């Protein structure tokens, strides 16, 4: 699939519509703000000292993860195909006095121009929003240096993930806007790992992300039933 096609315009439109809320801690992106420390912790645990390292966040949205990594001294680039989320990300970085390089470009195109350039590649909650996730994984592998780390997080394709991520989060508790997720596009860990391995990425760790909307308790767990995060290393 050509990089120009690997964009779902309906998905882009969804996030454009709510972009202004990206940094509202009680807005539509509240769950992302709450699980971000877990994702950052998982990244640091494996990539260790990220100070001075080159990191690219693929599908960065409004910049929650990108900015939090830049604050630790990493040289961060955030890429996305949504104009409004990127504008929000740039403005927030400016206000927070944090240096992040934001670009509107596809992962595939960025990989063409910057092969084996980054120490760390992150791609969080993005694979389930594109027509061809395997193409994104291939691009992430192409961008990372040999021995570097690639992190993916997405939703498992289970009954439990349907009940929690769609029925509970969207319909009952209204944690995220209705229609944010499509269960048909959720990805089983085995599928994601096989795509990664086909692109010289060896999965070295996996964890589930548990989020309880009632207690607002969130932690990394062993079960990958709903949200999960993988750490892969480029062979």
Residue 34 structure tokens: 């709450």
Contact at 8 Å (CB) between 140 and 107? yes
* 39 labeled binding residue: yes
Best CA proximity match to 106, nearest among 126, 88, 125, 84 = 126
* 59 labeled binding residue: yes
Q: Angle between the 83-96 and 9-17 helix axes, to the nearest 10 degrees? A: 40
* 80 labeled binding residue: yes
Helix (H) or strand (E) holding 161: helix 159-161
Cα 7 to chain centroid distance, Å, stands at 15
Best CA proximity match to 98, nearest among 126, 67, 144, 63 = 67
Q: Which residues are annotated as a binding site for S-adenosyl-L-methionine?
A: 39, 59, 80, 124
Q: Which residues are annotated as a binding site?
A: 39, 59, 80, 124
């Amino acid at each position: 699939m050509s990089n120009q096609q690997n964009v779902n315009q309906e998905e882009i439109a969804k996030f454009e519509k709510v972009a202004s809320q990206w940094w509202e801690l009680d807005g539509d992106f509240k769950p992302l703000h709450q699980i971000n420390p877990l994702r950052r912790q998982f990244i640091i645990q494996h990539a260790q000292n990220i100070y001075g390292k080159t990191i690219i966040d693929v599908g960065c949205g409004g910049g929650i993860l990108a900015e939090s990594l830049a604050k630790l001294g990493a040289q961060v680039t955030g890429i996305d195909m949504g104009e409004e989320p990127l504008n929000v990300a740039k403005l927030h970085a400016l206000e927070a006095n944090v240096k992040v390089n934001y670009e509107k470009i596809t992962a595939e195109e960025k990989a063409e121009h910057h092969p084996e350039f980054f120490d760390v590649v992150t791609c969080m909650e993005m694979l389930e929003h594109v027509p061809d996730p395997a193409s994104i994984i291939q691009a992430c592998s192409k961008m990372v240096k040999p021995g570097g780390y690639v992190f993916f997080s997405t939703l498992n394709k289970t009954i439990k993930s349907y009940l929690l991520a769609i029925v509970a989060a969207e319909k009952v508790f209204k944690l995220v806007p209705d229609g944010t997720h499509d269960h048909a596009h959720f990805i089983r860990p085995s599928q994601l790992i096989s795509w990664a391995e086909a692109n010289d990425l060896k999965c070295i760790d996996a964890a589930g992300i548990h989020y309880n909307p009632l207690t607002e308790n969130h932690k990394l767990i062993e079960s990958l039933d709903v949200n999960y995060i993988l750490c892969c290393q480029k062979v």
